[in-house]
Chains A and B, each alone.
Chain A
């Protein structure tokens, strides 16, 4: 099976002032896969995500999504490509002046052209899929708990059934039961809709249970990008500490019972 590349990052350099966050970073993401991005705090995972979706202009290098360089496109073409993304930002980034249901309905009204009533109904379903009760839809983001904000943001990211889903630490702040439900939701949607998922996470259980491949960000580049068991064998101090530390071993035991 030849794999179609949907995201292609080549020689990416990102710099803020004198701090270099990425240096000659290469990464490929294939259609239909769930790729987990891991790395210590501040290694530039969120910045990488923002660069791919075109919010950060890289100092050098090339980023292609669906074969297109977003920053070189006209506004209209770019908006068409962006409709094929769903993004969950690390802090939720819900619109604070809209209710949760309106937040989810917004892309449905604006991009899918649904009448408001239909959009609201569908928004309710997306919220339910993300695990929120209907009455949460009438609340404003400021009235939600941290975990509910994540779910609402996920519902908005899923609103248009996007081709690529970018998730920045989606399970941070969720209780373990919800996190597991979240993992299975992502896998179900990927299987049914052929989504590609770009998943930034620190959650080892999520990594083991959902990801086809894991990319490790370290020393300003992608140190390894491979199936998780392969990555866990990489000869690097940080990778070893990450996957073979106490938490890593526990998560691996759950994923492969019997082995250790």
Chain B
């Protein structure tokens, strides 16, 4: 629009006998916004009522520039300028639109932020309160899940078999390779550890027992649970959470369906089925890993390994370990689903709750495992 080469916008104030005059010239566009804003702030105090405004050397003008002008001049002068026939109609319309927008909506509001000691105390208090609320919510959600389960278990027509099977595949079958590899490697590590530590007592043969006890009682189920807490609890939260964020959960409710029955039960049941099976697999893989190391390092042949295993390790060890699996599975799945339901609108919230689900489920798994160890010890199992 401007014929002259583009000049950055400027505003100059001149005073003579007739009064003061504000000359606005050059390009008032986004590219020069910061400079223009600074200049406007400098001039802000010195714009008095009788001022004459010369806007004829104005180059390009966009909404950002119009905003600075409108703010500099104030509402009434902007409206007057928008009536000025000297300006092309398109410019006048722009000034008027921006001026109106500022008048209607921008009646400034600023909120003070409190900082310091009180805020810190407040955060601590909130965190404590949050922890208790969290625990109460978890218990409530467990109740809702069990209630949903009892309500559907007698009605085979309401079992979501397809969904259940698909979740068993995703949480169970798809985790087999990574879990087997992981347990195999931990088995190797434990065997190395045993071979080194027990050698000084001349008892390195008992490495076999160490592997057996470790994997049947603890490592098999613990490794599986921790892996699934990372892999499955997070997936559950993300799936349910993004449905929540997009109002799909609300849609399920308004269709007269029960989100717990539709979304939670299949996931919880799938994990309760899959985790014990995976635990069994992890035990086998860990023992095989240990066996391989025994063979390579301690020269214990597979048949000898097996006969020692059979002689020293009772079935109880296995039962004691695997009994924990369904409990862990239930807690992991419930926490994953519950965090999903707690998601609010944003993508960020999905991320936060996914993290929280993983942290919580690993915490709960280890806590329960510790309690179980105490209990088993007292019971002499």
Contact = CB atoms under 8 A, between A and B. Distances in A.
Nearest to A184: B97
A96 B91 contact: no
Interface residues of B, number: 34
Q: What is the interface residue range for chain A against chain B?
A: 20 to 34
A192 B346 CA distance: 36
B34 A125 contact: no
A116 to B, nearest CB: 12
Contacts of A121: 37
A217 to B, nearest CB: 28
B345 A128 contact: no
Contacts of A158: 63
Contact of B30 (A128, A140, A161, A188): A161
The main secondary structure of chain B at its interface with chain A is helix
A133 B91 CA distance: 24
B345 A140 contact: yes
Given A112-B31, A128-B102, A134-B105, A188 B94 contact: yes
Contacts, number: 91
A134 B109 contact: yes
A192 B101 contact: no
B105 A161 contact: no
A129 B98 contact: yes
A126 B63 contact: yes
B72 interface: no
B346 A141 contact: yes
B345 A134 contact: no
B33 A114 contact: yes
A188 B63 CA distance: 11
Contact of A112 (B30, B61, B97, B108): B30
Interface in B95-134: 97-98, 101-102, 104-109
A97 B345 CA distance: 9
Contact of A96 (B1, B102, B348): B348
Contacts of B62: 161, 192-193
B344 A128 contact: no
A174 interface: no
A40 interface: no
Given A112-B31, A118-B34, A142-B245, A188 B97 contact: yes
B90 interface: yes
Given A122-B64, A124-B106, A132-B105, A192 B348 contact: no
Nearest to A194: B1
A98 B89 CA distance: 37
Interface in A136-185: 140-143, 158, 160-161, 185
A125 B101 contact: yes
Contacts of A97: 346-349
Interface string B21-55: 00000000111011001000000000000000000
B109 A135 contact: yes
Q: Which 4 pairs show the lowest CB-CB distances between chains A and B? A: A142-B345, A97-B348, A192-B94, A96-B346
30 contacts: A96-B346, A96-B348, A96-B349, A97-B349, A114-B34, A115-B34, A118-B33, A118-B34, A125-B106, A128-B105, A128-B106, A129-B98, A132-B105, A133-B105, A134-B107, A135-B109, A140-B345, A160-B30, A161-B62, A188-B93, A189-B63, A189-B97, A191-B89, A191-B94, A192-B61, A192-B62, A192-B90, A192-B94, A193-B62, A193-B94
Interface of B: 1, 29-31, 33-34, 37, 61-64, 67, 89-91, 93-94, 97-98, 101-102, 104-109, 245, 344-349
Given A114-B33, A122-B33, A128-B101, 10 more contacts: A97-B348, A118-B33, A129-B97, A132-B105, A134-B107, A142-B344, A161-B62, A191-B93, A192-B62, A192-B91
